[in-house]
Chains A and B, each alone.
Chain A
Amino acid sequence: MVSLSKRTALCRWFQAGLTVLVCLCTTGCWDSLEIEQRAMVLGLSVDIAQVPSDDSHFATERNTGNASESPRPLQVQGRPESEAATARATAKETARMPIRLTAQIPIPGRIPLGPGESGGGGANNPSQSVWVVHSTGETVTEALQCLQQQVADPLFFGHLRVIVVSREFAQKRGLSDLMDYLRRNPQVRRTLWILVSEHEAAKLLATAPPLKRVPTLYLISTMDQAIRLGKFPTEFLGVAESKVVMKGRDMVLPYVDVQHGETMLLQGMAFFRDYRLAGVVTGIPGVYTYMELCGIRQGGIVDRAQLPGGSWVVLQSYRRRRSIRLQMVQDQPVFDVYVHIDFHIHQTSGDPLNLSNPATLRLIERRESEKIISAQKDLIRRTQQAGSDIVGFGEFVRAYRPGWWDAHIQTKDRWREVYKTLPVHLHVKSRVRVYGMRAR
C-alpha cells in the first residue's frame, strides 16, 4: 500500500515536471521581440537608382551616412526624367534597373508624445524625429537586406503606412514585383497607401510640414482627410491589389508631388495598365470625375460655373448618386451612365444675379452638367487611349452579361481592346439644393 502511494506520488511529480517542461518549451518565445528592439519602418520610398550599380553593396556603402538629415539632394529637384536615364533604360531594358530605397524609421525618444510636450530631444522639426536610411538593390528584398545591414535592430513592417514610388519607377519598372513582395509579407497592412510621386520619391517622403510629429504620419493624414473631405477615393494598397487583378478593371493610385520644397500636393491620380503606370490625371476635376463615374457618394468639389453675361457661381457638390445601364446593341456592350449630383452654392459674382429665380437655378444646373459631362468624356477618352479601364465597365459586363463575356472576352487583354472603342453615353443631372443664408 505504501509503495503504491509512493509510486502515485512519484507519478504525480513526474506529471507536474512534464507539464512545466512542456510549458517552457512551447511558449513561442522563439519569436519574442521586444518593442524597443524593432526598427519600425513607417514609410518607404522607391526610386530607380540613377547610378547603375553592379555592386549593390558598394552603392549602399556610399549611400550610408548622415541620415538624420533630410535626404541628400541626389538629383536636381524638379527634373522630370533625364534623357540619359531614359536612354539607358531603353538600352538595358527593364530587367536591370536597380532600386533605390529610402526608409523612415522613427526615433522613439524624439517623438513628442503629448500635444503640449516640446523639446523632448529637440523635436520641434518633425524631420528630426525620424531616421532616414538609404540603400540600393536589384530587387526590393535585396534593397531591404542592404537596409538591414545598416540598421542594427530587425526591420519591422507592421506599422508601414505609406510607400512612395516615383513616377519613373511606376512607368518603367512597374509595381509588379513590389506588390508581390507586399502581398507575401505577413507584416504588411493592406490599408497601406502607395503614392506615386511626380519627381523623386525620397524627396517626397522627407517633406515634413510642422503639423504632425512624424513626416510619414503627415502623408497618411493627408490621405485620410482627403477621403473624409471627398477629395480622393479609398484607393489603398488592398483596393489596388484587388483591382489590378480584376479582369475588367485597372487600378488607380494617388499622384503627388512636393511643392515649394516642403508641402505635399495631392495633385491627381495615376492610372495603371496592369502594374505599369499608363497615365496621370492631374488637377482636381480629374479625380472628381473619376469619383463621379465610380459612384462614390461623398462629394466635395468646389467648381465655378460661368453664366452668360459675365456672372458666375461657385458650387460645391455634397452628394452624388450613380447608376449604370448596360445594353447589348448588335452584340456589343453599350453603357449609359447616369450621375446625379447635389450642390450647394457657396458664392456668386454678386448683385445682378438673382438665385431666387427658378430659371437662373435651372441655367446654373444646365451649365454645370455640361461642364461635368465634358470632363467625364475627357477622362474616359484618355483612359480608353491608354487601355486602362479604371471605372470598371468591364466588371459590369462580366457581372451582368456573363454569357457574352465568356463567349467573347474572358481575358483582360481582350477586354482592353473592346474598351478602347466602348461607347459610353453620359447623363448628368445637377441639382442646386440651397444657396446659403442670402435670400437671392
Chain B
Amino acid sequence: MIHKTVYRHITVMEAVAIFIGSSFGIGILALPRMAVEAADTGAPLLTLCGLCLTLFGALLITLLARRFPNDTVVRAGERVIGKWPARLMGVCLAVFFILLTALGAREFTTVVAVAVLPRTPVEATTLVMLLLAASSVRNNFTSFAYIQLFYQPFLFIPSVLIPTLALKNAIFTNLLPLWGNGEGHWWAGMASVAALLQGGFVLGFLVPAMIEPRRMPQVLLWGGIFIGSVYLLFVIASLAVFGSMEIRNLMWPTLEMAKITMLPGEVLERLDAAFLAIWVTAAFAGLYTTYFIASLVIKDVLRFEDHAFLSWALLPFIFMAAMLPPNVVQVYRAMEWLGRIGLVLTIGYPLILLAVAWMRGVREERGLPEQADSTL
C-alpha cells in the first residue's frame, strides 16, 4: 500500500543532517554532569554505552524500514499489530514528543535565563522558541531536511572548537580510572544519555521520504560517527578540564567549558555568550525535530493529508506543558523520567514491532515499486 504522502526527495546526506540535527540539542549542556553523576570518571565510557543504546534503537528502526520501506513507524505498526493498538501507541508517542518538545524548550530558556538574560521572563523566551519551531513545522519534509542541513556548520564549528581549545587546561588523571571510582548507576546513566538522543526517532518517518531507503544503514553509520564523536568530545574535554568532582558542582559543564575557553590571541576571553548564541540553532534543531515528529505522528494516527495545521494547534499545549515545572530541579527531574519512559517508546516499540512482524511474517508486498510520487 503506497500512501499519497510517500514522496521521495531526501538524499542520504540530508538524512544524515536530519539525524545529527535531531540529536544535538540543549541537553548537551548538562550531559557531562549527568554522565559523571552516574559513573564518576567513567563518564566517557558511559556516554559511549548510551550512544550504543541509541544506535541500537536507530538500527531497529532501520530494520523496520527495510521491511516496510513505504511506511512510517506508525503506519507499519498498524499493519503489524493491528489498527487500534498501533493507534494507541501512536497517541502515546505523540504525547511523549509533545512533552519532550515542551521540556526541551523549557530547559533551553532556563539556561538562557540563568546565564545571559536574567530579567527576561522565561515565558517570553519559551514562546519565541516555540513560535519559531511551530512556524517551521508547517513546512514539509524537504524543507525540514534543508533547514537541518543548513544549520550543520553552526553545530559543528563550536562543538569541535570549544572542547579542543579547552583541552589546554586538561589534566590527564581526571580521566582515570576509565570505569570510575566506586559504584555507579550505569543502567540509569546510559538511559539518561540515550534519552538525550531520542530525536533520532525521526528516522522512522524519514524512510518513506528517502530516495533510496535501502541506504539507511549509511545514514546510521555517518550519523552515529558524527554524533558520537561530538558527544564524546564534550564529555571527555569537560571531564579532563574540570575533574569529576567539580563537574558535579556545575549546572551546565559544557557552558562552563566555553567560559574557560579563550580564542587564541585573546581575541575573545570567554566564549560562553558566543557559544550560547550559536547553540540557539542546536536547541532549535532539536525542538524542531521533536515538534515535527509529534505532528507527523498525529497526522499518521488520524490519517490527515497534511500535518501543517497541527503545528499551531499543538502550540498552546506545548507552551503550557513547558510552563508547568516550577523550578530548575523539577525541569531536570521531569526530563529524567520522561526520557526513561520515552526509551520504552522509541526503542521498545520498534523492537516489539520487529519481533511481531518477524513472527507473523508481515512485510512489504513484493513487486510494488518504491516509486516516487512528486506531488509535494
Contacts and interface: CB of A to CB of B under 8 A. Distances in A.
A239 interface: yes
Contacts of A309: none
B117 A28 contact: yes
A300 interface: no
Contact of A31 (B116, B127, B250): B116
Contacts, number: 90
A118 interface: no
Task: Say what secondary structure dominates the interface of chain A.
Answer: helix
B117 A186 contact: no
A30 B117 contact: yes
A241 B259 contact: no
Given A26-B127, A402-B177, A406-B181, A191 B246 contact: no
Nearest to B124: A26
A403 B174 CA distance: 16
Contacts of A234: 169
A239 B131 CA distance: 41
Contact of A25 (B41, B124, B171, B175): B124
Chain B interface size, as a band, is 35 or more
A245 interface: yes
A31 B245 contact: no
Contact of A242 (B131, B177, B181, B243): B243
A396 B173 contact: yes
A26 B128 contact: yes
A400 B176 contact: yes
Given A392-B173, A406-B181, A30 B120 contact: yes
B284 interface: no
Interface in A216-256: 234, 238-239, 241-243, 245-247
Interface in A183-199: 183, 186, 189-191
Nearest to A190: B260
Interface in B139-197: 169, 171, 173-177, 179-182
A392 B248 CA distance: 19
A238 B259 CA distance: 10
Interface string A388-411: 000010011011101001100010
B246 A242 contact: yes
Contacts of B131: 22, 26
Contacts of B176: 398-400, 402
B4 interface: no
B128 A245 contact: no
A245 B243 CA distance: 9
Contacts of B363: none
A161 to B, nearest CB: 9
Contact of A399 (B125, B173, B250): B173
B66 interface: no
A30 B270 contact: no
Task: Give the most central of A189, A392, A396: most B CB within 10 Å.
Answer: A189
Contacts of A399: 41, 173-177
Given A234-B169, A241-B246, A245-B245, A402 B124 contact: no
Contact of B119 (A31, A191, A241, A395): A31
Interface of A: 22, 25-26, 28, 30-31, 183, 186, 189-191, 234, 238-239, 241-243, 245-247, 392, 395-396, 398-400, 402, 405-406, 410
Nearest to A179: B249
Interface of B: 41, 114-121, 124-125, 127-128, 131, 169, 171, 173-177, 179-182, 241-243, 245-246, 248-250, 256, 259-260, 262, 269-270
Contact of B117 (A31, A392, A395, A400): A31
Lowest 6 CB-CB distances: which A-B pairs, in order? A399-B176, A402-B177, A245-B245, A399-B173, A30-B120, A242-B246
A242 B36 CA distance: 14
A234 B259 CA distance: 16
A241 B119 CA distance: 28
11 contacts: A189-B270, A238-B260, A242-B243, A243-B243, A245-B246, A395-B171, A395-B174, A396-B173, A399-B174, A402-B181, A410-B181
Nearest to A22: B131
A31 B118 contact: yes
Nearest to B41: A399
A186 B114 contact: yes
Nearest to B270: A189
Nearest to B272: A186
Given A189-B269, A398-B177, A399-B177, 13 more contacts: A30-B117, A30-B119, A183-B249, A189-B259, A189-B270, A190-B256, A190-B260, A241-B249, A242-B245, A243-B243, A245-B248, A399-B173, A400-B177
Given A239-B169, A246-B245, A398-B181, A191 B256 contact: no
Nearest to B175: A399
